[in-house]
Amino acid sequence: MFVLGGAIRPIDFAGLRIFDYTAGHDLRSSLAVIDVPPGTGHAEAWSKRSDKYYLVIDGAIRFVLDGAETGLVAGDFCLVRQGRRFSYSNPTATLARLVLVHTPNFNLAEEVFVETA
> How do residues 56-108 score in pLDDT, each as one tens digit?
999 999 999 999 999 999 999 999 999 999 999 999 999 999 999 999 988 88
Q: Is 31 exposed, middle or buried (0-12, 13-18, 19+ CB in 10 A)?
A: buried
The reported pLDDT for the residue numbered 110 is: 92
Predicted confidence band of residue 115 (pLDDT cuts 50, 70, 90): confident
Q: Could you say which architecture CATH assigns to the domain 27-93? A: Sandwich (2.60)
Read off the amino acid at residue 76. D
Q: Which of 53, 63, 18 is nearest to 36 (CA)?
A: 18
- d(CA 80, CA 54) in angstroms, rounded, equals 8
Residue 117 is predicted with a pLDDT of 56
